Amino acid sequence: MDEENLSFEELLNDSFEKNTKLEKISTGTVIEVNDEGEVFVDLNYKADGLIPKGEYSFDENANPKEELKPGDKIEVEVIKLNDGQGNVLLSCKKLKQSILREKFEERVNNNEIFEEKVESVNDKGLIVNVTGIKVFIPSSLSCGSKEKARFKIIEYNPKEHKIIGSCKVVINEEKKKIEKEFWDNVKVGNEYEGIVSSISTYGAFIDINGVQGLLHVSEISWDKEANVQDFLKQGQKIKVKIKELDTENKRMKLSYDGKGEDPWNSLNLNVGDIIRVKVKKFMPFGVFVEIKKGIDGLVHISQISEQKISKPEEKLQIGEEVNAKVIDINSENKKIELSIRELEGTSSEYSSLEK
């Protein structure tokens, strides 16, 4: 029986008789790495060992010529004592894979985050290669990127070749961490740069590091009938301040410097002044008129006309400009009452306030 047909155990026993010991798993010294990526190894045996490039690593991009140099120690697995060319055929990729799998399992048990390149994409999800270990990330748990994925392993069953990853777990955990840090440190008066995440008729929601705050329309413009979309756009970056906090329910109201100065601060108006106003909004009890941008006044229904009317629409139209006389100013509550009736039938001049 020739040497090539002998079992590993028989050849190993034969080698013992020759006082030369060679274990199934041995450590050798690198002699040379040729241009083909073959590694020659001194095993302290009657023949040198050879690691073909295909037996070096599961990673196809691994280059033994770049990773090894003569004199390096390397752990190998003996595959065949004679490869037909007088060399001991060796492999180290299985050993590497075993070590890598142990490290992989340790990271899984430690609930660590993996960040790897996406190997392939199909209609069900992503395939990621972690040092030779295939991880599947379903589309519903992916992160949207087709190039790189940050994920955790949520199911690990190597016997059934079922290793499932999730990007959403990482995103949600990081979001919760950021939110906790925010609520632990936020105070009324703090200023932040936020992003307009959504707009409604009553205001805008501002995203501050993943936390949503309400910027009410009253904090955007002094004009009570303002259209939020005339001032802010979705995705716009703005600076806001914390106005009110409800840490228990994780809610906050914001203020915005872009609202500008309070128009009441520059209002120069006295009781008895006659001004030009614009009809703005009808109410059962009267009509609101615009005195200047951000300041409205009320003309009670009894102050619209000398004639008795049941509703403001009988005498006025929305958008119409009329003369009115200031009959009361309540600066503390920011209320102004006017009368159109007192000027009815007169040609009184009026002062024109800047709109």
DSSP string over 239-252: EEEEEEEETTTTEE
Q: Fill in the DSSP letter of residue 13.
A: H
Question: Does some domain include residue 354?
Answer: no
Question: Does some domain include residue 353?
Answer: no
Does 21 share its domain with 42?
A: yes
Residue 83 and residue 13 in contact, taking contact as beta carbons nearer than 8 Å:
no
Query: Which domain-ending residue is among 96, 120, 144?
Result: 96
Structure tokens at 303: 């102050």
Does 77 share its domain with 121?
A: no
Query: Which domain-ending residue is among 184, 200, 225?
Result: 184
Does 231 share its domain with 163?
A: no
Structure tokens at 215: 């910027």
Question: Does some domain include residue 161?
Answer: yes
Question: Does some domain include residue 350?
Answer: no
CA 14 – CA 165 distance, rounded (Å): 49
Q: Where are the alpha helices (DSSP H) in 25-92?
A: 64-67
As a whole number, the mean pLDDT across the chain is 88
CATH number of 16's domain: 2.40.50.140
What is the predicted pLDDT for the residue at 293? 86
Does 21 share its domain with 44?
A: yes
Residue 33 and residue 65 in contact, taking contact as beta carbons nearer than 8 Å:
yes
Does 90 share its domain with 7?
A: yes
CA 278 – CA 324 distance, rounded (Å): 10
Does 91 share its domain with 7?
A: yes
What is the rounded average pLDDT of the residues 137-158? 91
Residue 289 and residue 299 in contact, taking contact as beta carbons nearer than 8 Å:
yes
Does 190 share its domain with 179?
A: no
Which DSSP string do the residues of 83-109 spell out, in sequence order? -SSSSEEEE-HHHHHHHHHHHHHHHHH
Question: Does some domain include residue 227?
Answer: yes
Half-sphere exposure (Cβ direction) of 244: Cα atoms closer than 13 Å: 8
Question: Does some domain include residue 349?
Answer: no
Q: How many domains does the chain have?
A: 4
Tens digit of each residue's pLDDT (9 = 90 or more) over 318-350: 999 999 999 999 988 999 999 999 987 655 555
Structure tokens at 108: 């899984």
Does 303 share its domain with 226?
A: no
| Banded pLDDT at 38 (limits 50, 70, 90) | very high
Does 144 share its domain with 77?
A: no
Query: Which domain-ending residue is among 259, 276, 302?
Result: 259
Question: Does some domain include residue 351?
Answer: no
The DSSP H or E segment spanning 136 is strand 133-138
What is the predicted pLDDT for the residue at 258? 86
Does 87 share its domain with 25?
A: yes
Question: Does some domain include residue 238?
Answer: yes
Q: Which residues face 239 on adjacent strands?
A: 193
Residue 169 and residue 151 in contact, taking contact as beta carbons nearer than 8 Å:
yes
| Banded pLDDT at 16 (limits 50, 70, 90) | very low
Tens digit of each residue's pLDDT (9 = 90 or more) over 192-213: 999 999 999 899 999 998 899 9
Does 291 share its domain with 337?
A: yes
Does 250 share its domain with 272?
A: no
Give the structural domain span for 92. Answer: 3-96
The angle formed by the CA atoms of residues 60, 66 and 71, to the nearest 5 degrees, is: 120
Tens digit of each residue's pLDDT (9 = 90 or more) over 287-321: 999 998 889 999 999 999 989 999 999 999 999 99
